[in-house]
Structure 1
């Protein structure tokens, strides 16, 4: 089983002391490629540096998460554009809206989101289209309205760490966007509805991710003592996903890997 983890926060401080061991465990588990999430001015260059240190295995995104929207200045925009000149940076984002936490004022979130969609549109217009790595939580109407402003002007899009409703899922699929599924699926308190609807995602729109070190699958056994999620646990998520879809594990693994490689243009 060869897997691609499309969202791992490997610049997180919890990986600072043992990243090489984390990557080795991932390889042994069949997770051969990982996309390191860039979500702030601090972590975007770190994600690129990790990708450069591990060519062919790690790739990076560069963007500003809605939690950090207030840091989106003209200087920040210039930094992002410089980062996207590098081939190792394979997607714009993580970007979007988060009205659940509201760590940044909503007008600032909307402005930062629009600026990053403009960046994606400019890259596409310049012949260097990069996919969008999107975040949406409790902000569906505004999220869809802002995306509609840029309809047809950006590359493919994935709504990463999808936790939303059936209606939201079909809105995204109607736009031909991709869906990223995490260990949220394994949470009997919050993820039960996902088990019912993941079978509706076409195989060529479905990708998998850990969102490590967050969202440790609650059904994982044995549980790591430090409660830290890591890419080596991705096969567990794929097994649960396959069961909920009524498909063979190998089929879900092969399809999600092929989809991820095509989406991010990975070798």
Structure 2
């Protein structure tokens, strides 16, 4: 009998043994969270075994952005964002702005954010949030980087601000989209991309998303875990209560594909290709041959499809 240790794929629950013709891209993973401090390498091994080979690590302040960048230099397939979350907008200073500008010089920082507006909790005042957001919009424009946007209960104001920057910003994605159909189409009309998470798996809060995900053009849709937050609530009982991590992204892809009435394979291919183009990552063009993906700039007049 062999005493060999089980492989990473052997340690995955059956539900996560996902086979896809395209490796998945998790566009929002909070791997600098303290819950990953003791087992980051096994976490990355499980992600790769599940078909998730590219991770965008979210930077929500200067310190976490620096940590995200350090991880990106250490592990292949990892990239970082750098920004100040709206909850912390009150901490935006000229020194923070200078630190962010320095981070954007590194090619492994692929987006400005997480930044935006959150009028649900208002941990920073709306005025502080708008000031920090506008400053980060200017940094995105100056550095030719896309935006990784947080928005909650601020759809109209977000749309108004982004509309005034349409000539200057390359691309923008509203990550962890949870709003209504009207807000979705307002964002699509602004040429925004949409990031979907395990929120759609929540039987309490995700019903409305299930009804509108088919409205999102495939070339505007990306997928993310937002781990360790937003563990899918419809996981099998034996998987509930565990920490959320990138290896669970295939479960979210299955759920989204079901409600879009498309195959898991097609969603995997299109979402990964869209993410690679959005973040200007290295791309396997063979996987994109048959995909009609939008490569236009985030610009006036594009409209939704």
Q: Structure 1: any 5+ residue segments left out of the alignment?
A: 124-128
Deviation readout 1:53-90 (Å, 9 max, x if unpaired): 013x1000000000110111000000000000000000
2:170 is paired with a residue whose SS is coil
Alpha-carbon shift at residue 221 of structure 1 (Å): 1.8
Larger Rg: 2
Alpha-carbon shift at residue 144 of structure 1 (Å): 1.4
The equivalent residue for 1:247 is: 262
- Cα RMSD over matched residues? 1.0
Deviation readout 1:72-127 (Å, 9 max, x if unpaired): 1000000000000000000011110001121111111010000000111111xxxx
Alpha-carbon shift at residue 227 of structure 1 (Å): 3.4
8 Å contact from structure 2 (residues 233, 240) kept in 1:
no
1:228 is paired with a residue whose SS is coil
- Given the alignment of the two structures, is residue 214 of structure 1 paired with residue 229 of structure 2, yes or no? yes
Hey, what's the Cα distance between the residues in 2 that align with 1:62 and 1:226? 30
Alpha-carbon shift at residue 226 of structure 1 (Å): 4.8
Alpha-carbon shift at residue 222 of structure 1 (Å): 4.4
Q: How many residues align?
A: 261
The equivalent residue for 2:125 is: 105
- Given the alignment of the two structures, is residue 70 of structure 1 paired with residue 90 of structure 2, yes or no? yes
- Given the alignment of the two structures, is residue 146 of structure 1 paired with residue 161 of structure 2, yes or no? yes
- Given the alignment of the two structures, is residue 44 of structure 1 paired with residue 81 of structure 2, yes or no? no
TM-score by length of 2: 0.84
1:236 is paired with a residue whose SS is helix
Deviation readout 1:132-191 (Å, 9 max, x if unpaired): 100100011211121122121011110000000000100111111100000000001111
8 Å contact from structure 2 (residues 163, 190) kept in 1:
no
TM-score by length of 1: 0.96
The equivalent residue for 1:228 is: 243
The equivalent residue for 1:126 is: none
Hey, what's the Cα distance between the residues in 1 that align with 2:257 and 2:38? 33
Which 4+ runs in 1 deviate beyond 6 A? none
Bigger drift between 166-175 and 224-233 goes to 224-233
1:215 is paired with a residue whose SS is coil
Which of 57, 69, 81 aligns to 1:61? It is 81
Alpha-carbon shift at residue 225 of structure 1 (Å): 6.0
The equivalent residue for 2:110 is: 90
Q: Structure 2: any 5+ residue segments left out of the alignment?
A: 1-19, 283-305
1:164 is paired with a residue whose SS is coil
